[in-house]
């Protein structure tokens, strides 16, 4: 019989605990992550450095242009000299805030020249025309239009120059466009631009017949714009820091609005009633109120008062005697010298009693006051 065979499984070694698969997967990419971080850091440093250098270059360029403007105007006091100097440097500072300043200043100078009454009408009109052209460049072109320091002010000055030229239609168009810009609603000049728009409508209504529909439409628009501006400005009426100029401007706008407001119940037609004159008195009342007639001169001459004879001149006394008499009159004046006037000179007994009673006030008569008094006598109480 065959020997039975026993089959046993083959001997095997248990495998070690498997390692973390996540670490095994990430380790090959760690170096690439580190390299990418280094590259990004270097790139960020390069960008920051480029921005910093660009900002410094921009500031240096702006400072240089402002220095040019300052040097050109230095020691220039006359308007003609300033105009010539600014016109000479306008191209050197082009497309910068300094250029916006140059254009705005030139426009203001030309507008002031156009307001001088001593100049010829043709010269004044030419100056106003130049001012309009300069203000229009700043008010309608970039990068000046969006500059909060120059754009809104150029709009206001442009409308004033157009008003000076008598072109109310263009002024209203300029201010209407300004009032519709949403980026200007937070600007401190926005309410003034709206108020100026209402005033321009009022000024244009004066150039038309009062009963015409165009004039009534302008007055209605002026009333609406002025009411809007005054309500916005009135919100700061209690501000203690309000400037005096703003208060005066609000008073001026209130007066303009009163001219365009609709008549109320007191004056339905908007006109003040004529002044009533009192009726003339009649009969005896008229004679009573009439001024009395001056009495006629009967020709009688009044006796003239006799002319007083001139006083005889007294012989002049020597200078020495005159001074001695003055000294005597001032230092030795007695009660009998001035009748009717009580003497304030105290006697020795009176002074002694005063000192005993503790009264250290001394005599104030003319002799005591005029004569030299010792320092101890000047003490009072």
Q: Which of 38-52, 226-240, 307-321, 339-353 is predicted most confidently?
A: 38-52
How many domains in the chain? Answer: 2
Domain shared by 252 and 103, yes or no: yes
Domain shared by 253 and 381, yes or no: no
Domain shared by 101 and 216, yes or no: yes
From 226, 260, 294, the end of a domain falls on 260
pLDDT per residue as tens digits for the range 80-103: 999 999 999 998 998 889 999 999
Instruction: Give residue 148's domain range.
Output: 78-237+245-260
Contact 367, 332 (CB under 8 A): yes
Domain shared by 230 and 83, yes or no: yes
Task: Say if 20 falls within a structural domain.
Answer: no
Task: Say if 209 falls within a structural domain.
Answer: yes
From 229, 260, 291, the end of a domain falls on 260
Q: How large a percentage of the chain has pLDDT more than 70?
A: 64
Task: Say if 289 falls within a structural domain.
Answer: no
| Average confidence (pLDDT) over 242-262 | 81
pLDDT tier at 29 (50, 70, 90 boundaries)? Answer: confident
- Determine how many CB atoms are found less than 10 A away from the CB of residue 299: 5
Higher-scoring residue by pLDDT: 368, 141: 141
Domain shared by 125 and 256, yes or no: yes
Domain shared by 209 and 109, yes or no: yes
CATH code, domain carrying 105? 1.25.40.10
Task: Say if 319 falls within a structural domain.
Answer: no
Task: Say if 181 falls within a structural domain.
Answer: yes
On the question of pLDDT at 173 being above 50, the answer is yes
Q: Largest Cα–Cα distance of the chain, in whole Å?
A: 204
Task: Say if 95 falls within a structural domain.
Answer: yes
Task: Say if 123 falls within a structural domain.
Answer: yes
Give 198-201 contacts, CB < 8 A, sequence gap 24+: 198/222, 198/223, 198/224, 198/225, 198/226, 198/228, 198/229, 198/253, 198/256, 198/257, 199/226, 199/253, 199/256, 200/159, 200/163, 200/168, 200/171, 200/172, 200/175, 201/172, 201/225
Per-residue burial over 7-46, b = 16 or more CB atoms within 10 Å of its CB, e = otherwise: eeeeeeeeeeeeeeeeeeeeeeeeeeeeeeeeeeeeeeee
Domain shared by 118 and 253, yes or no: yes
Domain shared by 249 and 372, yes or no: no
pLDDT per residue as tens digits for the range 272-285: 667 777 776 665 55
Alpha carbon dihedral 298, 299, 302, 304, in 10-degree steps, equals 170
Per-residue burial over 182-212, b = 16 or more CB atoms within 10 Å of its CB, e = otherwise: eebeebebbbbbbbbbbbbbbbbbeeeeeee
Domain shared by 254 and 375, yes or no: no
Task: Say if 69 falls within a structural domain.
Answer: no
pLDDT per residue as tens digits for the range 206-220: 999 888 999 999 999
pLDDT of res. 295: 55
pTM: 0.58
Give me the residue label for tokens 């609709």. Answer: 262
């Amino acid at each position: 019989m065959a020997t039975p065979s026993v089959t046993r499984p083959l001997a095997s070694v248990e495998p070690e605990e498997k390692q973390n698969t996540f670490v095994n997967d990430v380790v090959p990419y760690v170096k690439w992550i580190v390299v990418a971080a280094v590259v990004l850091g270097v790139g960020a440093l390069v960008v920051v450095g480029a921005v910093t250098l660009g900002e410094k270059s921009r500031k240096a360029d702006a400072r240089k242009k402002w220095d040019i403007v300052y040097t050109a105007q230095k020691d220039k006091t006359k308007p003609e000299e300033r105009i010539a100097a600014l016109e000479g440097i306008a191209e050197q500072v082009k497309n910068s805030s300094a250029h916006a300043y140059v254009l705005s200043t030139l426009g203001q100078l030309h507008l002031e020249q156009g307001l001088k009454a001593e100049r010829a009408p043709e010269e004044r009109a030419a100056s106003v025309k130049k001012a309009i052209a300069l203000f229009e460049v700043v008010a309608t072109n970039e990068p000046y239009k969006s500059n909060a320091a120059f754009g809104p002010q150029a709009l206001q000055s442009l409308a004033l120059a157009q008003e000076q030229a008598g072109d109310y239609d263009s002024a209203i168009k300029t201010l209407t466009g300004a009032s519709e810009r949403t980026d200007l609603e937070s600007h401190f000049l926005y309410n003034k631009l709206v108020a100026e728009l209402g005033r321009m409508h009022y000024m244009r209504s004066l150039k038309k017949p009062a009963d015409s529909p165009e004039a009534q439409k302008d007055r209605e628009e002026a009333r609406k714009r002025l009411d809007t501006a005054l309500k916005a400005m009135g919100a700061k009426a209690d501000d203690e820091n309000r400037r005096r100029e703003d208060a005066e401007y609000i008073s001026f706008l209130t007066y303009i609005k009163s001219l365009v407001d609709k008549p109320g119940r007191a004056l339905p037609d908007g006109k003040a009633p004529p002044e009533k004159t009192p009726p003339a008195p009649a009969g005896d009342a008229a004679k009573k109120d009439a001024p009395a007639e001056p009495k006629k001169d009967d020709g009688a001459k009044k006796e003239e008062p006799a002319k007083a004879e001139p006083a005889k001149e007294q012989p002049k006394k020597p200078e020495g005697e005159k001074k001695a008499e003055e000294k005597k009159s001032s230092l030795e004046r007695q009660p009998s010298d001035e009748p009717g006037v009580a003497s304030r000179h105290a006697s020795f007994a009176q002074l002694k009693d005063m000192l005993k009673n503790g009264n250290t006030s001394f005599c104030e008569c003319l002799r005591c006051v005029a004569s030299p008094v010792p320092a101890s006598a000047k003490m009072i109480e």
